[in-house]
Structure 1
Amino acid sequence: MHPHLLNSELSQLLAPIHAFLQCETPDEWIAEARKPERLSVLLVDHANCEMKAAMSAHSLVRRYCLPKEKRKLLPNLDFYKTLDALPEKGEVLGKQTLLDENRRVFDELAKNGLLVKMVRLIQEELHHFEQVLEIMATRDIEYSILSASGYARGLLQHVRTHEPAAIVDRLIIGAYIEARSCERFARLAPHLDEELSRFYVSLLRSEARHYQDYLTLAADYSGQNIDERVAFFGAREAELIQAPDEELRFHSGVPVGS
Structure 2
Amino acid sequence: MLHLKTASQKRWLAQVDENLDEVLIDHAHCERKAASTAMNLINAYTENRDLCHEMKQIVEEELEHFEMVLARLDARGIRFRRLAVGPYGRRLNQLVRPSEPHRAVDRLLVASLIEARSCERFSLLAEHIRDRDAELADFYESLFESEARHHSTYVRLAEHFAPRPTVRERLDQLSASESEIISDGSTLVRMHS
Identify the TM-score tier after normalising by the shorter chain. over 0.9
Cα distance in structure 2, aligned partners of 1:142 and 1:32: 19
What is the TM-score with the length of structure 1 in the denominator? 0.71
Q: One-letter code of the match for 2:152?
A: Q
Report Cα offsets for 1:127-171 as digits up to 9, x if no partner: 000000000001110000101111111111111111111011000
Note the C-alpha offset of 1:235: 0.8
Note the C-alpha offset of 1:40: 1.3
Identity percentage over the alignment?
Answer: 41
Aligned length, in residue pairs? 189
The within-5 A match list for 1:18-167 is 20-33=3-16, 35=17, 37-66=18-47, 112-167=49-104
Note the C-alpha offset of 1:244: 4.1
Change (3 A) 1:32 1:246: closer
Cα distance in structure 1, aligned partners of 2:103 and 2:187: 30
What is the TM-score with the length of structure 2 in the denominator? 0.94
Q: One-letter code of the match for 2:161?
A: Y
Aligned to 1:215, the other structure's residue is in SS state helix
Provide structure 1 residue ranges, at least 5 long, that are not aligned to the other structure: 1-15, 67-110, 253-258
Note the C-alpha offset of 1:48: 0.1
* Displaced runs of 4 or more, over 4 A: none
Q: Which has the higher contact order (CA 8 A, sep 6+)?
A: 2
Report Cα offsets for 1:58-78 as digits up to 9, x if no partner: 011011115xxxxxxxxxxxx
Cα distance in structure 2, aligned partners of 1:153 and 1:222: 24
When the two chains are superposed, the root-mean-square deviation of aligned CA atoms in Å is 1.3
Aligned to 1:161, the other structure's residue is in SS state coil
Cα distance in structure 1, aligned partners of 2:120 and 2:15: 16
1:247 equivalent among 172, 179, 188: 188
Cα distance in structure 1, aligned partners of 2:128 and 2:45: 41
Indicate yes or no: 2:104 matched with 1:173. Answer: no
